[in-house]
């Protein structure tokens, strides 16, 4: 199931082989994620192949130069290539995480402080925790692509480590399962706290990728 989703998300169809990398020009690389981030380029190793999923806005000369410089390089080695940073895009190593253990996940407990209110905004597929009118934490599905829902979690710095994010994440996953949506957790590899949160609920890393991202203002 993930294989089919990811192939579509990368735009794998008719590609071009350049210096041992399969290059796919995909309109998906022009679609905003969470209304703020556009992944203009994704570099990953998928089913034994080095794959580049590229926005039509990236020039041919840039594509050829990148393919040449990343040949035979590991994902971590690619991160050191200055050429990527010369694109003007934000470069990150990201993990895609999924779960194949829904029984564990949907056993969530309602452990919130009773003085704190939890609301569900159906139009946004979003749960929020509030103290009066102040939003302390939220968790939502920002995008649904090919039946996989991208989960976004945020907690006010002053209210972290109280279990709010975990509680809302459980609620969002339960909602996804009830609606036939596969939950997907996309996280920066340097965000240790977020990765540990996802793992504590049953997510596992299934794909590592380099993302060249345009941040919308």
- Residues 23-44 have pLDDT tens digits of 999 999 999 999 999 999 999 9
Q: Is residue 109 very low, low, confident or very high in pLDDT (cuts 50, 70, 90)?
A: very low
Q: For residue 116, what pLDDT is reported?
A: 77
Q: For residues 10 and 151, give the distance between their C-alpha atoms in angstroms, rounded to a whole number.
A: 18
Domains of the chain, earliest start first: 2-95 (no CATH), 100-201 (3.40.630.30)
User: For residue 52, what are its two tokens?
Assistant: 């580049």
Long-range contacts of 43-50 (CB under 8 A, 24+ apart): 43/70, 43/75, 43/78, 43/209, 43/210, 43/212, 44/10, 44/75, 44/207, 44/208, 44/209, 44/210, 45/75, 45/208, 46/6, 46/7, 46/10, 46/12, 46/207, 47/3, 49/22, 50/20, 50/21, 50/22
Question: Over the stretch 141-183, which tens digit does the pLDDT of each residue have?
Answer: 999 999 999 999 999 999 998 999 999 999 999 999 999 999 9
Please state the φ and ψ torsions of residue 103, each to the nearest 5 degrees.
-60, -40
Asked if 155 and 165 count as a contact pair (C-beta separation under 8 A), the reply is yes
What is this structure's pTM?
0.91
- How far is CA 20 from each of CA 11, 64, 89, 124, rounded to the nearest angstrom? 18, 11, 24, 42
Q: For residue 31, what pLDDT is reported?
A: 97
Of 182, 121, 123, whose CA–CA distance to 150 is shortest?
182
């Amino acid at each position: 199931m993930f294989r089919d989703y990811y192939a579509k998300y990368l735009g794998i169809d008719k590609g071009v082989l350049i210096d041992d990398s399969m290059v796919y020009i995909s309109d998906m690389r022009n679609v905003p994620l969470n209304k703020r981030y556009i992944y203009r380029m994704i570099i990953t190793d998928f089913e034994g192949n080095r794959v580049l999923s590229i926005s039509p806005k990236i020039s041919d000369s840039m594509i050829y130069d990148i393919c040449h410089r990343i040949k035979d390089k590991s994902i971590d080695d690619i991160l050191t290539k200055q050429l990527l940073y010369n694109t003007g895009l934000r470069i990150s190593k990201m993990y895609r995480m999924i779960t194949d253990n829904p029984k564990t996940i949907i056993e969530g407990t309602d452990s919130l402080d009773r003085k704190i209110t939890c609301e569900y905004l159906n139009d946004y597929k979003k749960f929020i925790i509030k103290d009066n009118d102040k939003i302390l934490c939220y968790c939502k599905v920002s995008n649904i692509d090919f039946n996989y829902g991208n989960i976004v979690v945020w907690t006010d710095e002053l209210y972290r480590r109280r279990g709010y994010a975990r509680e809302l994440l459980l609620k969002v996953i339960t909602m996804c399962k009830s609606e036939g949506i596969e939950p997907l957790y996309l996280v920066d590899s340097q965000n240790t706290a977020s990765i540990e949160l996802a793992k504590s609920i049953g997510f596992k890393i299934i794909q590592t990728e380099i993302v060249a991202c345009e941040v919308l203002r």
